[in-house]
Chains A and B, each alone.
Chain A
Amino acid sequence: MPVTTSTPRLGELERVVMERLWEAAVAGGPDFAGATVREVHHSLEGERELAYTTVMTVLDRLAKKGLVTRERDGRAWRYLPADTREALTAQTMRRTLDDMDVTDRRTALLHFLDGASSDEIADLKAALAEVEARVEGGDSKGRRRRGLRR
């Protein structure tokens, strides 16, 4: 995969570092007190040749995005995931771009389906039956049948 700009690469590193922190948090259990830059750097050794300062930059970016929190520990910072991956995923699912107005949100991301209401389900089932009947019941009206393969 060609790397053209530094942004996708940084994004990729953010993902890897975040994964390491989540793994460490799971392994450390409730007593997990965070990982230092050195520890994160160490955990990536062998897999990626990264400069210590790169790991520091990545953790700093993650902190700015609110994905990790950090606490002072002597002269070093200890980094902790702000949330578990599951919680973050649930939150993203529940309130995607919640701070934008509806018009903007619908232009920013194109959803396959913009939710649905319970009253619609009966209508939907009837309409589905109609589609199925039309495709499976032969070509009575001479419409094109591009979709039907098998």
Chain B
Amino acid sequence: MSAGLSISGLTLEFARNGGWAAAVDHCDLTVRPKEIVGLVGESGSGKSLTALACLGLIPSACRASGSIRVSAEQIVGASEATLATLRGRKVAMIFQNPMTALNPYFTVGTQIVGVIRRHFVLTRSAAYREALAALQRAGLPDAALGRYPHQLSGGQLQRAMIAMAIACKPEILIADEPTTALDVTVQARILSLLRNLADQGMGILLITHDLGVVAQVSDRVAVMYSGSIVESGDPAGIFSSAAHPYTQGLLQSSPVIGLGSRRLHAIPGTVPDFRQRPSGCAFRDRCTQAGEICAQGSAPRMAISQEREVRCHFPIRPGASAELS
């Protein structure tokens, strides 16, 4: 597959006690054009690091191995020069906090034009026209071009960041928790915008911890826990019958409106620090299904159906729902 994002065997490690500890361990993920892939995980899962790796932005203390291809170009180990041509042009990123992602000293227009002229040889007026087009696609009025970041609201800032990211029409957009800091009504609109962008051809990797967001806008889902992707597949399948105990635990602990007062199902324990992971499956200390084999090496990837994969020795069979509903 030449277009889109293709992550294969990605491992991101930090030095520890003379050895290496993997914050992200052999991850495989693909994002095709026109599709939104939701990457679900909580803090400590390694999802943000994965996102940064796709743009070659991992910290210098981190060692990357494996392959990340963006429209057939290799990111892992690429030179700064190569990366600079790819960032913004082929792959772009938007972040959780738009206030800190935009330079407060420059107007939105200046920043977008800057990105455009970095990748294309255009006159200033032509570049401004492109910037305006980007703003329109992001749902902002033309007047936003001349505004400074502090003059915009949270939702507008996020749209400005999106406009900057899509200005050069990249193939892949990586969205790292783009709506977590936004009100729910504003979030709804941003999600709608992302859906539109995907329909127009962009492939989006949407990173979030919110299962509702994932269920509503993604075409495929990957669930990440402590550095590994534990389950992936189509949303309908996963949400109706999760195969991995962690996914099921997440679904059951997510509060849903209208279900009245009841005790939430809580996954006991906390996510282990990647430097102190238990041997074998990282989830086994918190897992209701864990067996002895779980302590020896991580589970192999198993295909449950054509679309779905799970990394577990004891995946939950569809129909066998857990005691709590």
- Interaction A to B: no
Residues of chain A touching chain B, judged by Cβ–Cβ distance below 8 Å, are none
